[in-house]
Chain A
Amino acid sequence: GAVVSQHPSWVICKSGTSVKIECRSLDFQATTMFWYRQFPKQSLMLMATSNEGSKATYEQGVEKDKFLINHASLTLSTLTVTSAHPEDSSFYICSASNQPQHFGDGTRLSIL
């Protein structure tokens, strides 16, 4: 099956720090990748759709200046949480679409 790699798997940092999360599709080219956020015991919440070579499409209520997405190649999308605060602590998961979507293993972000 398709493989999506996400890095890092866990990051702890101080409030005000910017954190970059990488999502790579290892065995197929993904023109579209997705970024989700998941709170404990809840389902996935789509944050944005990342399109290679163009601007990301953000869901309503997601601050695009807070969550910067770059999809510079067909195998790599990055999510940067800028000036992170404790309320940004969550589980962030990316996926790449090879019909259907295949997910990375997620990044646990803890902001102190």
Chain B
Amino acid sequence: QKEVEQDPGPLSVPEGAIVSLNCTYSNSAFQYFMWYRQYSRKGPELLMYTYSSGNKEDGRFTAQVDKSSKYISLFIRDSQPSDSATYLCAMSAMIHDMRFGAGTRLTVKP
């Protein structure tokens, strides 16, 4: 079993839809949770960073962490074609030992 599981998709939605992206994990020591967005042929860009459980909102993006279920989510409201990218979840127990999900490829169609 992988430490971090993420459905690679692809996921295709119409413009304006709410997108839900999820990851599950097995290591209960994880306490730092990140979501990165990666456009084709570019490095990952940090979208959301959460410590421990709870919700965090930034504009159209909301990150949720449920440590009891070992489940994290990223919601994108009013999705735009420019949101089309690969979304990577990442998590770590200590500062430097980050583990990545496989990434979910998202396409938002106009």
Using a CB–CB cutoff of 8 Å, the interface residues on chain A facing chain B are: 1, 4, 6, 32, 34, 41-44, 49, 91, 93, 95, 97, 99-106, 108
Inter-subunit contact B42/A105 (CB<8 Å):
yes
> What's the Cα separation between A29 and B36 when bound, in Å?
22
B interface size (C-beta, 8 A)? 22
Chain A residue nearest to B99 (CB atoms) is A46
Identify A97's interface contact among B42, B49, B88, B95, CB under 8 A: B95
Instruction: Collect the chain A residues with CB atoms within 8 Å of residue B101's CB.
Output: 43
Binary contact track B14-58/A, C-beta < 8 Å → 1, others 0: 000000000000000000101010000111111001000000000
Inter-subunit contact A44/B44 (CB<8 Å):
yes
Binary contact track B55-69/A, C-beta < 8 Å → 1, others 0: 000000000000000
Using a CB–CB cutoff of 8 Å, the interface residues on chain B facing chain A are: 8, 32, 34, 36, 41-46, 49, 88, 90, 92, 95-96, 98, 100-103, 105
Q: How far is the CB of A75 from chain B (nearest CB, A)?
A: 17
Instruction: Collect the chain A residues with CB atoms within 8 Å of residue B103's CB.
Output: 42-43
Instruction: Collect the chain A residues with CB atoms within 8 Å of residue B98's CB.
Output: 100-101
Identify B102's interface contact among A43, A102, A105, CB under 8 A: A43
Q: How far is the CB of A74 from chain B (nearest CB, A)?
A: 15
Q: A43-B100, A106-B43 are in contact. List 5 more A-B contacts (CB 8 A).
A: A43-B102, A95-B43, A99-B95, A100-B32, A100-B49
Inter-subunit contact A97/B41 (CB<8 Å):
no
Inter-subunit contact A103/B36 (CB<8 Å):
yes
7 closest cross-chain pairs (CB), A and B: A103-B43, A105-B43, A106-B43, A103-B44, A43-B102, A93-B43, A43-B100
Inter-subunit contact B100/A44 (CB<8 Å):
yes
